[in-house]
């Protein structure tokens, strides 16, 4: 048993060292990408700043593009995941207020330059190292999970009336991203302003609530002109 215990402890220490090294790589790469951008950054410079070899760096991340995606997901996680995790705690509040608050933060983060670049890379290199799956599970998938928990809790609280919770969570994310994401990702159209983001989020939430709110009278802030026009057609 002592041998097994020592082996288990050794393996645990190795895992800790691996995670510590990985975190150090991501931290250094974040700074290099911030200074140089994707095109200007190099694995050689990142390895040099780390004080290690490129071989070690490539052992953790097989390409600069994959490393960039992981960096972007890490930054996004630091900025938005805490809010998403706390979303279900607001299930009893006015759903329009809650979803607009979270939607503005989420869409603003999704439209950030590093996030859209990471998305393009995930599409281009999706089969390399399961990068597409990693991007989805660490990005959109996390939002879907948070929305699922919130919708389930808000339905239980009588704020929403949802039967297929998973579908509703996907609908919510799709609505929030529908007006802006393709333009930013495909790099065309006018500059997207904060005001434009806020208005698009409001419209998306209104459409979502037109389908899923339990009782419009219980959410007096919700019925905007756009919401009323949607209700007239249903």
**For residues 78-95, b (16+ Cβ closer than 10 Å) or e, as one string?**
eebbeebeebbebbeeeb
206 vs 210: CA distance, rounded Å: 6
Task: Report which of residues 139 and 155 the model is more confident about.
Answer: 155
Q: Tell me the backbone φ, ψ of residue 78, rounded to 5 degrees.
A: -65, -30
pTM reported for the whole predicted model: 0.75
* C-alpha pair distances (Å), 68 with each of 51, 73, 131, 168: 19, 9, 11, 31
Nearest to 206 by CA among 183, 181, 231: 231
Q: What's the chain's Rg over C-alpha atoms?
A: 21
Higher pLDDT among residues 185 and 48, named by residue: 48
State the pLDDT at residue 72: 84
Q: Domains of the chain by range and CATH?
A: 1-61 (1.10.10.60), 83-232 (1.10.357.10)
Q: How confident is the model at residue 230 (pLDDT cuts 50, 70, 90)?
A: very low
d(CA 206, CA 126): 34
Instruction: Report the half-sphere exposure of 150 (CA within 13 A, side-chain side).
Output: 28
User: Taking the CA of residue 222 as centre, how many other CA atoms within 13 Å lie in the half-sphere pointing to its CB?
Assistant: 29
């Amino acid at each position: 048993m002592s041998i097994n215990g020592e082996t288990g402890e050794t393996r645990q220490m190795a895992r800790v060292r691996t995670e510590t090294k990985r975190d150090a790589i991501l931290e250094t790469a974040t700074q290099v990408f911030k200074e140089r951008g994707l095109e200007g950054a190099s694995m050689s410079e990142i390895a040099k700043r780390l004080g290690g070899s490129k071989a070690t760096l490539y052992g953790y991340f097989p390409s600069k593009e994959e490393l960039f995606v992981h960096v972007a997901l890490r930054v996004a996680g630091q900025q938005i995941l805490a809010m998403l995790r706390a979303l279900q705690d607001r299930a009893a509040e006015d759903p329009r207020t809650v979803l607009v608050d979270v939607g503005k933060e989420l869409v603003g983060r999704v439209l950030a330059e590093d996030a859209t670049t990471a998305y393009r890379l995930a599409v281009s290199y999706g089969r390399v190292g399961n990068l597409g799956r990693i991007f989805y599970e660490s990005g959109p998938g996390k939002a879907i999970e948070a929305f699922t928990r919130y919708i389930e809790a808000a339905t239980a609280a009588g704020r929403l009336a949802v039967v297929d919770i998973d579908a509703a969570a996907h609908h919510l994310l799709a609505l929030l991203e529908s007006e802006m994401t393709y333009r930013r990702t495909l790099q065309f159209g006018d500059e997207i302003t904060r005001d434009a983001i806020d208005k698009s989020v409001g419209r998306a939430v209104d459409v979502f609530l037109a389908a899923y709110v339990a009782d419009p009278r219980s959410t007096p802030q919700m019925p905007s002109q756009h919401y009323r026009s949607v209700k007239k057609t249903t």
